[in-house]
Structure 1
Amino acid sequence: MLSACGTEDTVLRDPSGHPISTSTTRIAEVNLVNPDRDYSQTCGAPGPADTRRVESSRIVVTDVSLLDALCALGMGDKVVAVTAAPGSVPAYLGPQLGAVPAIGTDPSRDAVAKAGADLVLTTPATAKSAGAFGPARSVTVDANGWEDTFKAVGAAVGRPVSADRLLAAFHADATALGARLDAAHSQVSLVRFGPDAETIPGTDSFAGQILTMVGVQRPPHQRQPGPLKVDSDNFTAADGDLIYVSFEPGGIDHGKSVLLSDRWLDMGAPTWKRVLSVNDEVWYRNPGLAAAGLVLKDLKKSLHGDSSQY
């Protein structure tokens, strides 16, 4: 292939010179929602503290579940280390947090010294890791649900007012989106494919909570709080006006086999090409305000779409 303008540019381009996406956009004839999303835009913009407490400039996090809140608060640039295994930081949090050193649950003295933490955010399950950082101020976040976690992190970093404001803004955006899309007249199905089975997430799942905030309805068999395991007797409970599918770790092969099966293709939504694939990491595995904003953007883009539009 000739390089563009005599350079070493190896990016695939159309005749007009525009880059051609080479990312995966379809799985088993099901199109992905937002496959080319720029995760560098996930986190909020930095802002001033709400309180007179001395600003924390070097934060260590002992539980990756707390990173979402710092991302949404615009404080990702303050995180200097995560006491977790390398590769543990969710990709959707973007390159800034993805580049934060993951120094293991039992960090070395050198790693602790290099971090130079003035605040350690921890959870009851990971509090042991905080002990390595000696005199640094430590705050244990023991909250019930992702919204309470967000508020607790906001309070710990001197941004309680900002946390309340951001949550209120998200709820307002969700309500406004639901009204604009007439969400109350849509029955949306959720299906997660695991390595050897599939489940229907309930209303208490992270994605289920966001759908409720938007005002989207669920099919009658999907209105229970907890997950429903799909079997041969209740297989059609997975149907709806629109089906959002996702793949748990290791679930892609099983998911493909189901999505291409006659039984699946005979249901209403697959027949009408009203099945779309979403990011399981964002929709289910990492509940938080930053992830919630991405789910909302997915709904805005796709709630009244179909597979042929992607």
Structure 2
Amino acid sequence: MSEASERVADSVGNWVDDLAPDWSRPYLRLARFDRPIGAWLLLLPCWWSAALAGIADGRVGPRIDHLALFFVGAFVMRGAGCTWNDIVDRNLDGSVARTRSRPIPSGRVSVVQATAFMAALALVGLAVLLQFNWFTVATGLASLGVVAIYPFMKRITYWPQVVLGLAFSWGALMGWPAVFGRIDLSPVLLYAGSIVWVIAYDTIYAHQDREDDVLIGIKSTARLFAERTPTILAAFYTAAVTLIGAAAFTAGAGVVFALGLAAFAGHLAWQVRRLDIDDSDLCLMLFKSNRDAGLILFAALTLDALVQHWW
């Protein structure tokens, strides 16, 4: 199998393909380091929660050390989660055009090698987690059950995106207790808002595989919503903005955040207006744009803390 044929369709042109040693590339692809968008989307609720705690605690902003730890943790744990997903889905991935070149179905990495790699990533994630207080450690460990069951959900329900939302939004429950050692109403509202955000953006992503999913019997909200997707996404995105806004204002956010929330809402509205569920390239682009939407929200929370601290 040629080097080019081993690249997943949406990972062409990245540092793994261009710079990484040949022996490491299958493992880096297994962890999706060639496609970091998923790690960013896992990271952003962590950063939102840390910034939210900064507002509530009267700090100048989120703790820099916490942001750095969450950054490392998100990338390695997303890698571990993707490896687990590929182990579980190795037979299904071989039947889907976009995923048959992944390292396990293509034969570049064995299941045993993938399992060992996943364990190594998980140990790095544990080392990061142990830098926080024990309440935060326990909260982080509680997420593993959700992560473990996610790959199986697409076989039994048209709502696997809900379980993905529970897993990918868990960071909303992490940044706050890292500061306060407890979970209050604000992070719970943030978690709920992030869940509906994840359901919406992953529905966009799932439209890339809709036809293949029908053939192999995989369920998703993309199949469930079908032509109604834009209308339903608008409802989910509205709920996300409402819940995230409630979380921030409950924590004491002010005008600067409100302006940023409006920009966040505008970005989500733009996605809904642009969406064409039959255009796979556009679906991928809109899905990836959620990193920018999330960074807008993080900047709004951080700047609000700064302004409130100094003024």
Tell whether the structures are fold-level matches, with TM greater than 0.5.
no
Where relative contact order (Cα < 8 A, 6+ residues apart) is larger, the structure is: 2
Task: Write 1 or 2 for the structure with the bigger share of strand.
Answer: 1
What TM-score do you get using the length of structure 2 for normalisation?
A: 0.28
| TM score, norm. by length of structure 1 | 0.28
